[in-house]
A and B are shown apart, each in its own frame.
Chain A
Amino acid sequence: MSPRLWPLAATLSIFLIAYAVCVWQFPNMWSTRVLGNFLTDNAFLGIVAVGMTFVILSGGIDLSVGSVIAFTGVLLAILITRYNVHPLIAFTLALALAAAFGALMGAMIHYMNVPSFIVTLAGMFLARGAASVLTRDSIPINHEFYSTVTSLSYRLPGGGRLSVIGLIMVAVFVVGTILAHRTRFGSYVFALGGNATSANLLGVPAARTTILIYALSSFLAGLSGIVFSLYTSAGYPLAAVGVELDTIAAVVIGGTLLSGGSGFIIGTFVGVMIQGLIQTYIVFDGTLSSWWTKIVIGGLLFVFIVLQRLLVYASKRRWRKTPAIQIGNMPEVA
């Protein structure tokens, strides 16, 4: 197995073992109902985590996503309830705005050559502040489109429901996987995260790629905001506080190297599911408290970061031991 698959394998094993333990303890957790809720409840986190995976793969970080989710939710609530804009048009506007916002951050990061964390920190302040200026209260959204969408679902055998927002997340993961692993843009993202200098020498368009990466991340944060607004049927400026941390944790636990250049979109999916599993376990247990989520996530973060460190170290040593090329089959030049 290629060493870059190790973290992914580790994540998957942890998830499967943990799930098995959960089911062993609470047999009810083995049902399509729980699985369906898994997807629905973590949809917004999953969507935004796909964008974060691209950012981290390229060697950056995006702290603004939680604020963008909140801003999108507030914007939608105001457009729909106060200005009677149809939700679909409001969605389009919100997504365009989010993508433009991300593109601007990407441009600043590339052209001003500053660390992504400080630029997206400014973005985080800006989006959260703007959301709070629009409203300070939670605005409920009562639109028939919303109730229609949330009531739509695919019934699974066993009583589970596959909701629209759950499906949106799955779709985002599928598209994200193709984009990351099957397009030129995807290879540019990996290239930038591997070594920006080499990438430049090989002709990777750094400016365009960086701008697109952050535009994509914000776009998906916007989409996540839409999903969150469908999920909660409200817009609240203090929503999704700290989601950026959960997202980064999901990406890292999913096996993506925090310093960039290596990882899988599907790993992030497992990372999100692990977080969901912990929360579901706590609900089922009933005596445990929600803060255990943070502690376990923190512990997993530590384990994975150290594991990555060891892997990088091991892979640097490894090629020294692999046999070099066989020159036997190389014809001499006459």
Chain B
Amino acid sequence: MKWIKPQYIAFLIVLLLNFALFRGFFTISIQDGRLFGSLIDVFNRGAPVAILAVGMTAVIATKGVDLSVGAVMAVAGAVAASLIQSGQPLGIVILAALGIGLLCGLWNGFLVAVLDLQPIIATLILMVAGRGIAQLMTEGRIVTFNDPGLIYIGSGALLTIPMPVVIAGVLMVVATLIMRRTALGLFIESIGVNRSASTYAGLRSKTLLIGVYAFCGLCASIAGLIAAADIRGADANNAGLWLELDAILAVVIGGTSLLGGRFSIPLSVLGALIIQGMNTGILLSGFPSEFNLIVKAFVVIVILMVQSPIVGNILTFMRPTPAPTAVPAPGEKTS
């Protein structure tokens, strides 16, 4: 039963609660060659945060955090919208949008790895400036477009599955494979657990850190493309607003510690779906949508409680027998 994670149960509970609120929750229909239904909606709307969470997982695993992903989404959307409007071919547009995300990530990585700034401070700069840059590109307007190719990314479907879900799914699988089929995942965890010891063991800590932030920027630009394609326009003011916080929350729900180390991309994606499930549930129940903020606040508090060493100690104390740990041999120091 080791493979049952608390996140699975949480997701199931959220889905069942939705079902309790709305009997048609699990009903799925096909219209215009695309799946429809509340459940599909959870996946579809959860996709951007899920994509952000993929990149954010890697960053948090290195003991960092990236506050700029929401702003990078806006920048990528603005780039895509302005370029497609000026008549550039779709391929160039997508490459440019992804390229700008990569660049933003490299900038963050440079600040963190080379200038040795605290990640929260380093990424704050782009969080503030990024949205301004996006507005500069769109000149403060919502730049709309009707290029079918670009719109397809947001509202099209592949084999009846909505494109955002396809993209998020593919990204999750590819990222997980790259992390786990190569040694990259282990290296990232090593840096998060103990950067000094990792460097001693011969890891290129700086290069890796820059790479991880670049990857996070890339993910943010993918999410930005989807968000722009979804509304057929780039809204520099609101695209990705506060999604960095949702992404962080998704990673935390997925069980990756803010102190770095072990991570799981699929569980972070599940965390994003749990958040979206809660959002949908609140909408279905007729509460104002902002009510989900309160629910999120309590989720954060509960997770903090569970991870807190004090509560951990109390739980251990209440357990009948102490958990078996290696007992050091006599005359040895455990430090």
Contacts and interface: CB of A to CB of B under 8 A. Distances in A.
Please tell me whether chains A and B touch each other in their complex, using a CB distance cut-off of 8 A: yes
B92 interface: no
Contact of A245 (B128, B134, B139): B128
B132 A295 contact: yes
Contacts of A125: 245, 293-294, 296-297, 300
Interface stretch (A129-137, A187-195, A208-216): A129-137
B291 to A, nearest CB: 6
Nearest to B120: A117
Contact of B304 (A118, A133, A305): A118
B186 interface: no
Contacts, number: 131
Given A112-B305, A132-B291, A295 B136 contact: yes
Interface stretch (A21-29, A172-180, A296-304): A296-304
A220 B130 CA distance: 28
B21 to A, nearest CB: 18
B128 A301 contact: yes
A198 to B, nearest CB: 19
A132 B288 contact: yes
Contact of A299 (B129, B258, B304): B129
Interface stretch (A158-166, A266-274, A284-292, A316-324): A284-292
B132 A121 contact: no
Contacts of B122: 305
A292 B124 CA distance: 17
A118 B300 contact: yes
A121 B300 contact: yes
A255 to B, nearest CB: 15
B236 interface: yes
Interface size of B as a range = 35 or more
B31 interface: no
A94 interface: no
A294 B135 contact: yes
B332 interface: no
Contacts of B300: 118-119, 121-122, 125
B100 interface: no
Nearest to A135: B288
A117 B130 CA distance: 21
A32 interface: no
A114 to B, nearest CB: 5
B117 A305 contact: yes
Nearest to A126: B297
Given A125-B296, A249-B128, A291-B132, A112 B304 contact: yes
A36 interface: no
A65 B248 CA distance: 19
Interface string A134-156: 00100000000000000000000
A113 B128 contact: no
18 contacts: A114-B304, A114-B308, A115-B258, A117-B120, A118-B300, A123-B297, A126-B294, A128-B290, A129-B290, A129-B291, A129-B292, A133-B290, A248-B124, A289-B140, A290-B140, A291-B131, A292-B132, A309-B116
Interface of A: 61, 108, 111-115, 117-119, 121-126, 128-133, 136, 237, 241, 245, 248-249, 258-259, 289-299, 301-302, 305-306, 309
Interface of B: 65, 115-118, 120-122, 124-136, 139-140, 236, 241, 245, 248, 252, 258, 287-288, 290-298, 300-301, 304-305, 307-311
Given A114-B304, A118-B248, 18 more contacts: A113-B309, A114-B307, A114-B308, A119-B300, A125-B297, A126-B297, A128-B293, A129-B296, A130-B294, A132-B288, A245-B128, A249-B128, A258-B118, A289-B140, A292-B136, A294-B129, A298-B126, A298-B132
- List the 7 shortest-distance A-B pairs measured between CB atoms, nearest first: A298-B129, A294-B132, A132-B290, A129-B293, A291-B135, A129-B294, A126-B297
